[in-house]
Chain A
Amino acid sequence: MPLIKNGALADDPWTTVDDAEPLPPGPVILSLRRFQAERERLRGLGVPLGLRLGNAEPVAVLVPDLDAVRLVALEFPSLADGRAFSQARLLRERHGFRGELRATGAVLRDQVFFMKRCGFDSFVLPADRDPGEAIAALTEFSVAYQPAADSLHRPFRT
């Protein structure tokens, strides 16, 4: 599936690993549950760690481990389910997460502009979607009315 990172097509060095699978070499994306169960061992491995967080899992649980996490993947189960927009802003703006914030699932070009504004910087597109269109859609608007995780909004004049 095509990966867009920082506004361009990119190779994906990360492997998403199921809870029961052995860890492959290289950067891995694990569930929160597995990470919590194997925290000490994983933190000691020295490989880049990524976490995937469910929409019902509060992002605050990640806070103690954000120093060890290089990537967080949030899922969009469908176009209609926008919880990950809030999760992303909380991670970026409340908890200061600086690593890669990845959008997965039903990542539609009609939503990537909003995703980017909420702090996502990488996007895994469904296999049948044109990455060129999605890249173009990242800059669909040149103005915005509200502050978010990006700098598009002109701050209120105080």
Chain B
Amino acid sequence: MAMYSYETHDRQLVRERVSQFRDQVQRRLDGALSEDEFRPLRLRNGLYLELLGYMLRAEIPYGLLSSRQMRMLAHIARTYDRGYAHFTTRQNIQYNWPRLEDVPDILELLADVDMHAIQTSGSCVRNITTDHLAGIAPDEIEDPRPWCELVRQWSSLHPEFSFLPRKFKIAITGSPSDRAAVRVHDVGLRMVRAENGEVGFEVWVGGGLGRTPMIGQVIRSFLPKNDILSYLEAILRVYNLEGRRDHLFKSRIKILVQSLGLDRLRELVEAEWAATRDGALSGAEAEVARIRARFAAPPLEVLPASDPGFAEARLTDPAFARWVGTNVAPHRVPGHALVTLSLKPIGQPPGDLTADQMDGVAELADTFSLGRIRVSHHQNLVLPDVRQGDLPALWRRLEALGLATPNVGRATDIIACPGLDYCALAYARSIPIAQRISERLAVFDADRDLGELQINISGCVNACGHHHVGHIGILGVDKCGEEAYQITVGGSSADDCSIGEVIGPALTADEVVDAVEAVVVVYLGLRRHGERFLDTWRRMGPAPFKETIHAAD
């Protein structure tokens, strides 16, 4: 499967949305709409007014991109922006400097390649996210992408749910192993196989980060696939009617779960669902079959499981071998591999890519991966369908583009929000902290092998950098008008999902870099053979880590 190809009516809807937004922008410029009236309208089309100007967030549906689309993203960055853009943890792309009056034209160009900015912000259902290994992971029950597309379509311009109490995020995974962080979403759908062999979804509700981090709970342990839309509609309807609208910080569904209790919420949802499950939304499976057909692509050629040239290069070139060890993952189809392009060069801003690099990636995708690209929620790119024998050549080309840093899943593969360098909500900068930690830990990782270590940085409590679920999380706060940073340890967004624990006082930018290093040094002193940072923390508890922070204080 490649990616969903638009039908006539998909294109029609996107074009009509562009026309509608062009008219809304014109009415704003003409004065028919005040800023207060325009704001919720522009947000629903991904347009923010940030610290330095407008910011436009375009949707990359569940992280799938074609080389043609990537070239358009590059063209837009070059023509309408300052030559670069930022990939986000929701697998989307952000432009930092578009002009309001250019945005309708930008949307028109996106529509030319079947892309849009619909519902990338605002109090509505946001971009559906999924496992970046969807369709490739060997442990998968079923490819989740047609289900993502089904939910994307159902939620797009939904007449009932376009003005919810607050934003609503849905993640879907088709694998038992959770790489889509479904437990920290408003609704998370995890594909499961029942004892009788039937495949359905385990439904999680009420997870989320932000101001009040919570791990979701299972509202339904088995939902037949055919009922996915009617069940989602039941949840959304209960939330739309019962969710709080009087207080911004209490309006997410997680607060409703908390105030009603899971059992009461389940009663309401099940009662609503009982009345609709046999209605117009049933038949989801038939609809998914239709959608799946539009993903169709010739299957990858089955090749020998091990390519001799690749094996030889691994033996003779240690740098190549190191990159393969971190950035290349096995593919379900023998003789192929999945390659992660690190957008985290040491000392550089996480997730940023220049227009020239975008064009370079598009060319490499055409040459080596059937024109297919993915965006991961770790703010990296993926070439999903690479032949093993092509890996040495691809690696050299990636090196030239600056996208071959061998650090995927490592300490320097830092997730960070744009922070105070761009964002109107931030209290503190994220990017320079990420850069300095990356520089500091790169040396350690090279010398001592820090293993799997996820560091996440958010510039404020809204937690766009998902600091709560970083193995090490850093939260920017304001301390008497100065930037300060709080460290949490022990978070995870995977199957062992947990919220990190604060281990010390707020620190200055200099101190926080030292403190992260100190935490890593404690880990190195305590780890047993092959033990991950997170596992050492869980075995030892916070005491030794807290001691080192306080000793440095």
Contacts and interface: CB of A to CB of B under 8 A. Distances in A.
Query: Would A and B touch once assembled, by the CB under 8 A criterion?
Result: yes
Contacts of A147: 279-281
B9 A81 contact: no
A142 B153 CA distance: 15
Contacts, number: 94
A80 interface: yes
Pairs A-B, 4 closest by C-beta atoms: A82-B163, A147-B280, A117-B159, A114-B159
A156 B286 contact: yes
A116 to B, nearest CB: 8
A65 interface: no
Contacts of A155: 280
Contacts of A83: 240-241, 245
A113 B280 CA distance: 20
Interface in A128-158: 140-148, 153-158
Interface in B287-333: 287, 290
B83 interface: no
Interface in B263-296: 275, 279-281, 283-284, 286-287, 290
A156 B226 CA distance: 12
Interface residues of B, number: 35
Q: Is the interface of A mostly helix, strand, loop or mixed?
A: loop
Interface in A30-88: 79-83, 85-87
Given A80-B40, A145-B153, A118 B16 contact: no
Interface of A: 79-83, 85-87, 89, 93-94, 108, 110-111, 113-115, 117-118, 140-148, 153-158
Contact of A79 (B153, B163, B281): B163
A143 B158 contact: no
A118 B156 contact: no
Contacts of A93: 279
7 contacts: A79-B37, A80-B40, A83-B240, A140-B16, A141-B157, A155-B280, A156-B283
B218 interface: no
B9 A154 contact: yes
A89 B163 contact: no
B237 interface: yes
Contacts of B13: 141, 143-145
A145 B11 CA distance: 12
